Structure 1
Amino acid sequence: MLGELFVLFFKVGCMAFGGGYAAMSLIQREATSRGWIDSAQFREIGSLAGMAPGSIAANSATLIGYDRAGTAGALIATAGITLPSLILVAALAAFFVRVHDHPSVRALFYGLRPVVTALILYAAFHFGFGGSAGSGSLFAWQTLGMLLICGGCLLAIVRYKFHPFAVILLAAVAGIVIF
């Protein structure tokens, strides 16, 4: 089990362009297809991992690893998902300083932006509405409530420049009131 955890999360770490949220769709697909967790458990793990300090992907790997193989599983899964970044950053740091202004390098990063955006939007949709979209598990008013809270959070951050921690607290209170 430990080897399987390491290999899975090492692969996710190798493919996780765009950060933790972009990696969440990969983690979900891999962990649920293996039967380690179901979609509802993944949403719970994602919620817990998102509230904890650090990368949501690394936190999710830690929680899934712990669930599968205890403390050793948590350590192995965390090492697996973070090791590719460590290796890549160490290898590219000196090289990037020399080529960061090259047009091909800039074009590469512009080309990766749409993929990263799509992965983040997918993760956001799944976390926010994965249990309600077409599944019949939540009533329509609950979906409307989630949309209202989501819109209010976006407005508070973008328009009114609220601190993210304040928005999280306000969303939690709104969730308690609405649901």
Structure 2
Amino acid sequence: MLLWGLFKTFCMIGLVSFGGGYAMIPVIETEVSRNGWMTTQQFTDAVAIAGMSPGAIATNSAMVVGYQTAGVLGAIVAALGMILPSVVIILLAAVFFNKVHKNKTVQSAFYGLRPVVVGMIIYAAIKLAFSNGMMNSISYYSISAFLLFALSLFALMHLRMHPVYVIILAGLVGVTLYS
């Protein structure tokens, strides 16, 4: 029953969530919380692990949730649930996209979806920051977390550092600041 719940939940998330993995995080977090599979802190840690792992963050998050909930089989079932809708939709879309990709209505729909996706990604970041206590009060932790965020953003955008290096450096800074 638990495995079916994992599969069904992640299949639904994979079916109705648009905008990539980061835009799916709030939906995953809502379902994980609703089902009581993880605490907010555990989910935040799962997203951190998923983000540092190779592959899509939504699928990686699903696998971590599945593993935490039902072991290796749970990870497999959650991952299959997450990717199955995408595979089916992509195969169907590939058949029809060449016929409609120049259609004005289709192009307009994609232009309309872009700002919503950006908004969902920003929402996910803010929600994770609040649920981690990073923005609840002014403290050493919140100030240092904000500075780490700002420096990471600067390194990515202005110094054009590779994200892997930013992640490694942030981890080292975290060990130094919070140990």
TM-score by length of 1: 0.92
Q: Deviations over 1:79-104 (max 9, x none)?
A: 00100100000001121122212211
Task: Give the residue type in structure 2 aligned to 1:42.
Answer: F
Q: Deviations over 1:144-170 (max 9, x none)?
A: 111111111111111111111111122
The alpha-carbon deviation at position 171 of structure 1 amounts to 1.5
Structure 1 CA distance for aligned equivalents of residues 69 and 171 of structure 2: 30
The alpha-carbon deviation at position 135 of structure 1 amounts to 5.0
Aligned to 2:172: 173
- How many residue pairs are counted as aligned between the two chains? 177
Q: Deviations over 1:95-150 (max 9, x none)?
A: 112221221111111111122111111222233342215656xx622111111111
SS in 1 for 2:54: coil
CA shift in 2, pair 1:28/1:12, >3 Å: same
The alpha-carbon deviation at position 54 of structure 1 amounts to 0.7
Q: CA RMSD, aligned part only? A: 1.6
- 8 Å contact 1:15–1:23 — kept in the other structure? no
The alpha-carbon deviation at position 47 of structure 1 amounts to 0.7
The alpha-carbon deviation at position 175 of structure 1 amounts to 2.1
- 8 Å contact 1:65–1:75 — kept in the other structure? yes
Worse-matched range after superposition: 169-178 or 30-39:
169-178
SS in 2 for 1:161: coil
Structure 1 CA distance for aligned equivalents of residues 146 and 122 of structure 2: 14
Write the mapping of 1:105-116 to structure 2, written as runs, cut at 5 A: 105-116=106-117
CA shift in 2, pair 1:57/1:146, >3 Å: same
CA shift in 2, pair 1:111/1:4, >3 Å: same
Worse-matched range after superposition: 2-11 or 93-102:
93-102
Structure 2 CA distance for aligned equivalents of residues 155 and 134 of structure 1: 20
Structure 2 CA distance for aligned equivalents of residues 2 and 99 of structure 1: 38
- 8 Å contact 1:129–1:143 — kept in the other structure? no
Aligned to 1:76: 77
SS in 1 for 2:159: coil
- 8 Å contact 1:65–1:76 — kept in the other structure? yes
Identity %: 38
Task: Give the residue type in structure 2 aligned to 1:21.
Answer: Y
Aligned to 2:101: 100
CA shift in 2, pair 1:106/1:153, >3 Å: same
The alpha-carbon deviation at position 8 of structure 1 amounts to 0.3
Task: Give the residue type in structure 2 aligned to 1:23.
Answer: M
Write the mapping of 1:1-179 to structure 2, written as runs, cut at 5 A: 1-132=2-133, 135=136, 140-179=139-178
Task: Give the residue type in structure 1 aligned to 2:145.
Answer: M
Worse-matched range after superposition: 45-54 or 94-103:
94-103
